[in-house]
Amino acid sequence: MQGMMMQQPLRISDILTYAAEANPNAEIVSVRTEGDIHRQTYAETLPRVCRLAHALRGMGVQLGDRIATLAWNGYRHFELYYAISGQGAICHTINPRLSAEQLIYIVNHAQDKVLFVDVSFVPILEAVQNDLPADLTYVIMTDRAHMPENSLNALCYETLLDGQPDHFDWPVFDENTASGLCYTSGTTGNPKGALYTHRSTVLHALIVGNVLGSALPKEGKILPVVPLFHVNAWGLPYTAPLLGMSLVMPGQHLDGASLFRLMDDEQVDSAWGVPTVWQGLMAEIDKQGRKPAGFSDVVVGGSAAPRVMIEKFEQMGVAVGHAWGMTEMSPIGTHGNMPRWVESLPFDQMIDKKSLQGRRVFGVDLKIVDEDGTAQPHDGTAIGELYVRGNTVVSGYFNNPEASAAAMDADGWFGTGDIASIDPHGILSIQDRAKDLIKSGGEWISSIDLENAATSHPGIATCAAIAMAHPKWDERPVLVAVAADSARPSLEDIHAHMSEHFAKWQLPDDVIWVPELPLTATGKISKLTLRRQLTDYVLPDLR
Ligand code: AMP
Q: Which atom of ligand 1 is nearest to the CA of 416?
A: 10
Positive or negative: CA dihedral 498, 304, 221, 255: negative
Catalytic position from the list 17, 33, 177, 184? 184
**C-alpha 221 – ligand 1 centre gap (Å):** 25
What pLDDT shows up at residue 217? 84
Q: Is 394 in the pocket of ligand 1 (CB under 6 A)?
A: no
DSSP code at position 175: T
Ligand 1 in contact with 302 (CB < 6 A)? yes
Active site residue 184: yes
Q: What pLDDT sits at residue 531?
A: 86
User: Is 97 within 8 Å of 123 (Cβ atoms)?
Assistant: no
Tell me what pLDDT residue 115 has: 98
For the full predicted model, state whether its pTM sits above 0.85.
Answer: yes
Cβ neighbours of 94 (radius 10 Å): 26
Ligand 1 site, residue 330, Cβ cutoff 6 A: no
Torsion of CA 45, 50, 54, 57, to 10 degrees: 100
pLDDT of 65 reads 98
The ligand 1 atom at the shortest distance from the C-alpha of residue 231 is 4
Pocket test for ligand 1, best of 196, 430, 443 (most atoms within 8 A of CB): 430
Verify whether ligand 1 is closer than 6 Å to residue 235 (CB atom). Answer: no
Three-class HEC string of 275-341 = HHHHHHHHHHHHHHCCCCCCCCEEEECCCCCCHHHHHHHHHCCCEEEECEECHHHCCEEEECCCCHH
**Ligand 1 near 327 CB (within 6 A):** yes
Spatial distance between the Cα atoms of 534 and 476, rounded to a whole number of angstroms: 14
* pLDDT tens readout for residues 471-484: 999 999 999 999 99
Q: How far apart are CA 261 and CA 265, in angstroms?
A: 6
Same fold, 365-433 and 438-542: no
One-letter-per-residue 3-state SS of 420-433? EEECCCCEEEEEEE
Query: Does the active-site annotation cover 439?
Result: yes
Ligand 1 atom closest to the CA of 357, numbered from 1: 19
The beta strand positions in 411-510, using DSSP E, are 414-422, 427-433, 437-440, 443-446, 460-470, 474-483
Confidence at residue 395, expressed as pLDDT on a 0 to 100 scale = 98
Ligand 1 contact via 430 beta carbon (within 6 Å): yes
Residues of the chain short of pLDDT 70, as ranges, are 187-188
Q: Is 326 in the pocket of ligand 1 (CB under 6 A)?
A: yes
**Has 328 been annotated as catalytic?**
yes
Secondary structure (3-state) at 38: strand
Closest ligand 1 atom number to CA of residue 433: 12
Contact between residue 300 and residue 279 where contact means Cβ atoms under 8 Å apart: no
Any idea where the domains of the chain sit in the sequence? 13-212, 365-433, 438-542
CA-closest residue to ligand 1 atom 5: 326
Q: Is residue 19 packed enough to be buried (19+ CB in 10 Å), middle (13-18) or exposed (0-12)?
A: buried
CATH architecture of 13-212: 3-Layer(aba) Sandwich (3.40)
Binding site membership of 57 for ligand 1 (Cβ less than 6 Å): no
438-542 has CATH 3.30.300.30 classification = yes
Q: 416 C-alpha vs ligand 1 centroid, how far in Å?
A: 9
Q: Is 331 in the pocket of ligand 1 (CB under 6 A)?
A: yes
Provide Rg for the chain, Cα atoms. 23
Distance CA 90, CA 80 (A): 10
pLDDT of residue 11: 98
Nearest-CA residue for ligand 1 atom 22 is 303
Which atom belonging to ligand 1 lies closest to the Cα atom of 435? 12
Going from the Cα of 422 to the center of ligand 1, the distance in angstroms, rounded, reads 16
> Is any ligand 1 atom within 6 A of the Cβ of residue 301?
yes
What is the per-residue pLDDT for 6?
Answer: 97
Q: Ligand 1, from 439, 443, 475: best to mutate by most atoms within 8 Å of Cβ?
A: 439
Residue-level pLDDT at 34: 87
pLDDT the model gives residue 372: 87
* pLDDT at position 215: 79
**pLDDT attached to residue 409:** 95
Q: How far is the CA of 355 from the centre of ligand 1 (A)?
A: 14
Residues 175, 266, 311, 328: which is the catalytic one? Answer: 328
CATH code for the part of the protein at 365-433:
2.30.38.10
